[in-house]
Structure 1
Amino acid sequence: MIDSPYFPYAFALLVALPFVVFIRQFVFSYIKLKNQEIKLLTIKGNSEQRVHAYERLTLFLERLKPSNLVTKFDKNLAPHEFVFLIEKTINDEFDYNASQQLYITAKTWKNVANCKNNMLHLLHKTYENLGNNLSLDDYKTIFLMNYMNEEDFIANCLEELRKENLIVN
């Protein structure tokens, strides 16, 4: 058998076989680890985007609070000018944050949109119920009082955002 012309080939095959198996295992292990790394990076990226969405929507809701709205703009404006500028500001900021709905649940996005719509409705309802002779300071005071007399829809929405953020992350 040692005198066979195939002996050197058989011997080389026997010596090389463990190395081939070892290299194969190494390559498969390396590919598996790289796939796991890619999955972790993808999850981490989505998680960071989700957190960023919660942060931006929280900031939007904080800016939507009447106590923050009444401090905006010049005190020499007429109430109808103030309402127009506040409405434009709210709509612009809402539109700016519209892409964040991709990272939160549909229910939470609906709550954020409802907060915006409720605030705009309150702005207009307060203005419509006033006489034309009121100053901007009077309008702001009545606006704040009207908000305090209603359910605090902004605080409720912020609480929902916090809860969802804890569940998702």
Structure 2
Amino acid sequence: MDDFLELMKYTVPSLVVLIFTLLLVRWFLKSENDRRKQELLIGQRKDALPLRIVAYERLTLFLERISAESIVIREQPNTSTVKELQAALLAAIRTEYEHNMAMQVHLPPSTWTLVRNAKEEMIRTVNISASMVKPENPSIALGKTILEQYPNGAAYHVKKALDSLKVDVQSFYSL
């Protein structure tokens, strides 16, 4: 019995020290792992931020390029009839959209939806305006009609998408 007590005198403190050491090492490894994860996330954000900003810049340019004032002035000199201008406008909008479609991976889904809605509304404005004039009329008639119809719908959607892009970009700077 004395041997058992003597053994316990040395074993119990050793076990307490061992358990304390294991807990301390476990805590240290966990905090070190958390620190490394944090550093990795900061590094990834630092690398991804320039790509995201470029995406927002390109989509802002896209929205500006499909606005009625911009696209009509850019495409009208290349056409002579309403039908030709309508085809050129729709092709330009779709080409611009397809060129910038990959940028959606850098945007929140709600913002991308607004960009897509702006494009669809601009296409709708072109088609509605084209149905209001005769296809064989000079292209200037369609340009005029689009510019008259634009503030009634598409301008709102383009502005809303641009505002959403601006809010998203401002959130980058408030981190």
Question: What TM-score do the two structures reach when normalised by structure 1?
Answer: 0.73
Matched, 1:97 2:100: yes
Post-superposition shift, 1:75?
5.4
User: In structure 2, do the counterparts of structure 1 residues 76 and 96 end up closer, same or farther at CA, with 3 Å as the change threshold?
Assistant: closer
Give identity over the alignment, percent: 23
Post-superposition shift, 1:92?
1.1
Whole-angstrom distance in 2 between the partners of 1:86 and 1:132: 14
Deviations 1:48-105 (A, max 9, x none): 1111111000000000110001112325521111111111111111111111111110
Question: What TM-score do the two structures reach when normalised by structure 2?
Answer: 0.71
Whole-angstrom distance in 2 between the partners of 1:34 and 1:149: 53
Higher share of residues assigned helix: 2
Post-superposition shift, 1:131?
2.4
Among candidates 163, 166, 170, match of residue 166 of structure 1: 170
Matched, 1:88 2:91: yes
Whole-angstrom distance in 2 between the partners of 1:139 and 1:45: 46
Higher relative contact order (CA 8 A, sep 6+): 1
Among candidates 132, 143, 147, match of residue 144 of structure 1: 147
Matched, 1:110 2:117: no
CA RMSD between the two structures = 2.3
Post-superposition shift, 1:42?
1.7
1:20-169, aligned counterparts within 5 Å? 39-73=41-75, 74=77, 76-150=79-153, 152-169=156-173
